[in-house]
């Protein structure tokens, strides 16, 4: 079978990278003052942060059903037999459920994966799916594998400014004010269904240390049965200064010398909630 692997820009995959990888990409909407933009086409994180700093109304959104159908139909017109579609986790958006309903009209030719991942962990799933498709696995086996391994992934992140979490309703005004005065920062975790407050620490160095400890603990507990060579560890964030990005990448690399750590920029769907200069790291299992 000729299988198309398809995802959305919540994965952090750019249009240029998607073309190079041989996967299909759906750009996700970003809304600024009720005007809709498409990530990677007419908005990038730089424009997003400029709007956020001006306190304009910023939010992420689901893709329009018409844009999904247009993408899928164009893929079938290119001669593909089936589509494996890997959207962002259903725990953070209704886009996965909506895609599953749309897929019902394609008579079993579209397989929507509820992979419970976003950003770099979602990207890892896309790469695994592409390897499996190229190796000849049928779409139903690719979907089953990705859903079975969905929770073998963690993301931890912390914000530079609490006001963005406050605007998004994840933090009260009083908590944001107190946290700012005391330099207390929440560390958030994404493990499948939702964003949770994992810990609260004081100062940037403590945040770095706590996130690294969290990943080390995941490796020794949740991923104890996964060989280290099958684990991927990445640094990331929305840091605008190259020196800050390099520092965070080298810090994570030093903590995990056996890993090939890269710095991954978070997609607009996360950046619109955490703001600029957020720091993040991720660990996930991958067979490829």
- Read off the CATH number of the domain in which 270 is found: 3.30.1180.10
CA distance 12 to 120: 6
Last residue of a domain, one of 148, 176, 211: 148
CA distance 83 to 6: 7
Last residue of a domain, one of 148, 181, 210: 148
Based on the structure, what is the number of domains in the chain? 2
> Does pLDDT of 173 surpass 60?
no
CA distance 198 to 35: 34
Is 38 domain-assigned? no
Which residue range forms the structural domain that includes residue 247? 153-285
> Does pLDDT of 174 surpass 80?
no
CA distance 263 to 253: 10
Tell me the per-residue pLDDT of 36-53, one tens digit each, with 9 for 90 and over. Answer: 999 988 888 889 989 988
**Range of weakest confidence among 42-51, 78-87, 193-202:** 193-202
Is 249 domain-assigned? yes
Residues 21 and 83 in one domain: yes
Q: What is the pTM of this model?
A: 0.88
Give the residue-averaged pLDDT of 122-142. Answer: 96
Last residue of a domain, one of 115, 131, 148: 148
Give the other-Cβ count within 10 Å of 133's Cβ.
21
Residues 143 and 162 in one domain: no
pLDDT reported for residue 182? 40
Is 200 domain-assigned? yes
Residues 69 and 106 in one domain: yes
Is 198 domain-assigned? yes
Residues 192 and 140 in one domain: no
DSSP string, 37-79: EEBTTTB-HHHHHHHHHTT--EEE-PPPHHHHHHHHHHHHHTT
**What CATH number did the domain enclosing 142 receive?**
3.40.50.10440
DSSP string, 122-151: HHHHHHHHHHHHHTT--HHHHHHHHHHTTT
pLDDT reported for residue 171? 45
Residues 161 and 141 in one domain: no
141 closest CA partner among 1, 261, 253, 32: 1
pLDDT reported for residue 179? 44
Is 44 domain-assigned? no
């Amino acid at each position: 079978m000729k299988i198309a692997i398809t995802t959305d820009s919540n994965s952090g995959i750019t249009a240029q990278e998607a073309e190079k990888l041989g996967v299909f990409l759906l750009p996700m909407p970003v809304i600024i003052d009720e005007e809709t933009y498409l990530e990677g086409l007419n908005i990038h994180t730089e424009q997003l942060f400029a709007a956020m700093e001006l306190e304009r109304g910023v939010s992420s959104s689901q893709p329009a059903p018409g844009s999904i159908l247009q993408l899928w139909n164009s893929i079938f017109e290119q001669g593909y037999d089936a589509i494996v579609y890997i959207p962002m986790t259903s725990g953070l958006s209704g886009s996965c459920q909506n895609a599953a309903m749309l897929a019902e009209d394609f008579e079993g030719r579209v397989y929507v994966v509820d992979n419970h991942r976003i950003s770099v962990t979602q990207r890892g799933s896309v790469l695994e799916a592409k390897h499996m498709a190229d190796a000849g696995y049928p779409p139903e086996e690719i979907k089953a594998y990705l859903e079975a391994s969905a929770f073998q992934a963690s993301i931890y992140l912390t914000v530079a400014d609490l006001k963005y979490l406050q605007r998004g309703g994840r933090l009260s005004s009083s908590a944001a004010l107190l946290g700012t005065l005391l330099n207390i920062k929440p560390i958030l975790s994404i493990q499948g269904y939702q964003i949770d407050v994992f810990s609260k620490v004081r100062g940037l160095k403590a945040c770095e240390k706590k996130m690294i400890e969290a990943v080390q603990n995941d490796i020794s507990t949740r991923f104890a049965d996964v060989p280290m060579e099958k684990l991927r560890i990445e640094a990331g964030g929305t840091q605008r200064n190259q020196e800050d990005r390099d520092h965070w990448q080298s810090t994570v690399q030093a903590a995990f010398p056996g890993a090939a750590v890269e710095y991954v920029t978070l997609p607009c769907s996360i950046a619109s909630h955490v703001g600029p200069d957020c720091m993040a790291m991720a660990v996930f299992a991958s067979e490829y």
